[in-house]
A and B are shown apart, each in its own frame.
Chain A
Amino acid sequence: MYRYDEFDETLVRERRLQFADQVARRLSGELTEDQFKPLRLMNGLYLQLHAYMLRVAIPYGVLNSVQLRALAGIARRWDKDYGHFTTRQNIQFNWIRLGDVPEILEALAGVEMHAMQTSGNCIRNVTADHFAGAAADEFLDPRPYAELIRQWSTLHPEFSFLPRKFKIAVTGASHDRAAVQLHDIGLHLKPGRDGSPVFAVFIGGGMGRTPFVGPLIRDELPADALLVYLEAALRVYNRHGRRDNLYKSRIKILVSALGADRFSAEVEAEYQAMRTESPPFPPEELARIRHYFAAPPFETLPADDPEFQALRARSAAFDRFCRTNLHPHQQPGYASVTIALKPIGGVPGDCSAAEMEAIATLAALYSFDEIRVTHEQNLVLPHVREADLFALWEALHAAGLATPNAGLISDIIACPGLDYCDLANARSIPIAQAIAERFADMDAALAIGEVKIKISGCINACGHHHAGHIGILGVDKQGEEFYQIQLGGRADEQARIGTITGKGLPGPEIPDAIERVIDRYLALRLDSDERFIDALERLGRTPFEEALHHGAA
């Protein structure tokens, strides 16, 4: 895992001391709120409905057990004993007092963490495939590149005053788990014609008010030219991007206005010009960073541990967990384990201090001390020996963390919504809870198979509703919460924005409506291998829309 170098340490310390001073000056009245607000936002501190919210960066979603314990400690000491993992692979603390923030930042710095680049018009915390460095379908670990981007974007003054916030996601696997086509810049690391690493670069994707799937702007970009190319793209954006209108200032609007071809040509011209002056990044630097992401000392093991298979055969509950919450590993005899933060009746992404501590202990015991945060608001232990899976499962079970629903209909993404968020129009979490409760029977949910439901409490789309197989957007209709339903969105390599169906429904009607759609799917699917999204694409949305809005078949 990456460790701070001296530069990072100095930067974080300086920013922390500076912010502590700013907090003191705000509390003494020396700074007005108007002066203070941009400063607190630069340090990840928002003011929400009930309290300050501190958003802590977890670069590309990677944590070690000491860091997770420190987050648990913050939850215990300065919050109400829990934190909330978000779709940006970050963690948010919901009940923070202003005067405590300097101490919290100090506690974070003690474990090489901070809250910078989690808000404001800068290049935000880079996100990545949560199975990076572990997934069987991966060509190359994308994290060294994510780290390179982090360092470059942290340093670069030109990019801390962008027209708007800017989000970059990276994957190195054939199946996209990082929603790269729905980011300002999405990077897919893959083998070039001669086998050397290249990037497919998607630019201008995003959700929010005007959602777009990012078009492919450059294919086969040599991986060592990445930063030069990104800088070229950002220069074109800085040159043309609209600063006059908040809603039009994202790069996606520029790409769509210019057209992908013209945008691509402009970036290419800039890139070619820059390439002669700025050399690709030094291979030693990448090698240095890569060293931190070296594979852990895996044992050489047989592919299908016989004991593991025997235990699966013996325990139906363990087998049930393995079917949904394991992901194939590149190293024979290992698997990645999803810890779904989606217990039925729980709050998607919430994790108590005790749970964080339990997970930290298990990561140290069974997963080379590594934890990942997924954009689906779950945690992952990336490298677990098959032979340890049963013991791990028993421990997770004892901690109430073994809900076997990863990827199923109750594994719902929900933003904080009107229960916490100052910008919300409607609540998200109770809708997620009501749907999860409707599909609480895990065997029935397994028979339904993969369905991705994503819920946002307003058009900002933090809950990724545009990319949900079923997307739900909370709207406010004269003081009442209504929910607009979209069908057919997806965030994988075939990314698509869902289509809005009919009129919004009141909250209490949502579980019935979703159940009707699922019943229709079960009646129409070719067989149990045809997933919900496949059936929807084969049949078109009409039959599902009918079920949604016009009662049972």
Chain B
Amino acid sequence: MKIITANSLLTGAPIYWAGTGRWSAELSEALTIDPADAESALQQASAQSEIAVNAYLVAVEARGAPVKREALREAIRAHGPTIRPDPGRPDPGRVPACLPDQSPDQSPE
């Protein structure tokens, strides 16, 4: 299955195609698309260039999580940088634990 993602024109933030005319900031709301329909959906999504920039397809498993090569990149897009939290920096709760000894609760601060 596939989903469509892009960056918001206004903020640059990752957004996900949630069906005709709708974009969501949440990966969980991305519409999963049958591979056979993916290209035409992408065309539709790309046409909304006043909302979305650089729309592209991502392969996902049945429950909608990106797979293979895209998994890490898409996880970081969806959840924010994986590096330690600091005042004003991304929410630590959203850090995917990709490097086990790098989870924020083990950092010295």
Chain A residues close to B by CB (< 8 Å) = 26-27, 29, 32-33, 47-52, 80-82, 96-99, 344-347, 350, 352-353, 418-420, 424, 427, 429-431, 433-434, 437, 440, 476, 478-481, 507-508, 511
Contact = CB atoms under 8 A, between A and B. Distances in A.
Interface string B79-91: 0111110111110
Contacts of B71: 479
Nearest to B53: A33
B28 to A, nearest CB: 17
A98 to B, nearest CB: 6
Interface of B: 7, 9-14, 49-50, 53-54, 67-73, 76-77, 80-84, 86-90, 98-102, 107-109
* Cβ-closest 10 pairs across A and B: A81-B88, A419-B81, A51-B12, A52-B12, A345-B107, A479-B69, A430-B102, A29-B50, A479-B68, A97-B11
A476 B69 contact: yes
8 contacts: A29-B49, A50-B81, A81-B87, A346-B86, A418-B76, A429-B81, A430-B82, A507-B98
Contacts of A344: 108
Q: Which of B50, B54, B99, B108 has the most CB of A within 10 A?
A: B99
A81 B89 contact: yes
Contacts of B14: 49-50
Contacts of A437: 107-108
Contact of A433 (B76, B84, B88): B84
Contacts of A353: 88
Contact of B101 (A419, A429, A434): A434
Contacts of B72: 418, 479-481
Contacts of B102: 430, 433-434
Contact of B80 (A50, A481, A507, A508): A50
A320 B52 CA distance: 52
Contacts of B11: 51-52, 97-98
Nearest to A29: B50
Q: Which of A353, A418, A434 has the most CB of B within 10 A?
A: A418
A47 B10 contact: no
Contacts of B12: 47-48, 50-52, 96-98
A479 B86 CA distance: 28
B57 to A, nearest CB: 16
B100 to A, nearest CB: 6
B108 A345 contact: yes
B89 A430 contact: no
Contact of B100 (A97, A345, A350, A508): A508
Given A27-B10, A50-B12, A98-B10, 5 more contacts: A49-B14, A81-B87, A82-B89, A427-B98, A480-B72
Given A433-B107, A479-B72, A352 B101 contact: no
B82 A51 contact: no
Given A33-B53, A47-B54, A347 B9 contact: no
A50 B77 contact: yes
Q: Which of B9, B10, B50, B90 has the most CB of A within 10 A?
A: B9
Nearest to B71: A479
Contacts of A81: 87-89
Nearest to B88: A81
B73 A418 contact: yes
A99 B90 contact: no
Contacts of B73: 49, 418, 424
A452 to B, nearest CB: 21
